[in-house]
Amino acid sequence: MIGQLVMYQPFAIPVFLLVSGVVLAFWGSRLVPFALVLFALIVGVIQGGSVLINFTDNPDVLRYGPYALAVLLAVAVSFLYRAAFFLAGLFIGYFLCSSFFPDLSMIFAGVVALISGALVYVSRNFVFSVLTSVAGAGLAATGAVNLIAWINVSCGVTSYWVIVVVIAVSGVIYQTKRNKGRK
């Protein structure tokens, strides 16, 4: 799909990919939670009326209800974003413990699951920094390689992976230093 977009607009799409990839790689851990809440607000306002019309035909509820639903959805997304890290660590810890030590009691496996969930929750900023840096590096490298090809310079797969590694490592280092002490 990206290849089709690049063929449609061989300069603008790679520039957009490069810029958005660099922004995601270096500031993703701060932008993504904000973007999730913003999109939740937008979806709540846009789709709130469609949901409410199934329950009531009161014009005041249909006028102001979508805004209340948008705020409720934004709060839920903010909570679920944080809870998802704890739950992911909980499940990973439980399944790893029960896989490697199948004869342990359920209580011990539960304690290990709670500890691993807490560890993932506490280190969520680092985990999210790594994930956004790698995703952003992939976007930026795709844009960069296509821009290099646009100026008729040949570059191979090695160039792509060098760009990915450099941007991803730089993004993780930058975000980790910036997030130091942040909850």
Looking at residue 82, what is its pLDDT? 83
Q: What is the pTM of this model?
A: 0.71
Looking at residue 183, what is its pLDDT? 55
For 144-172, write each residue's pLDDT tens digit: 999 998 898 988 899 999 999 999 999 99
Angle at 105 between CA 103 and CA 108, to 5 degrees: 120
Structure tokens at 168: 């991803």
Q: HSE (CB half, 13 Å, CA atoms) of 134?
A: 5
Sign of CA dihedral 17, 139, 135, 130: negative
Query: Secondary structure of 78-146 in the HEC alphabet?
Result: HHHHHHHHHHHHHHHHHHHHHHHCCCCCHHHHHHHHHHHHHHHHHCHHHHHHHHHHHHHHHHHHHHHHH
pLDDT above 80 for 75:
yes
* Distance (Å, whole) CA 176 – CA 125: 8
pLDDT above 70 for 17:
yes
Q: Name the residue with tokens 């920094």.
A: 129
Looking at residue 77, what is its pLDDT? 92
Looking at residue 167, what is its pLDDT? 97
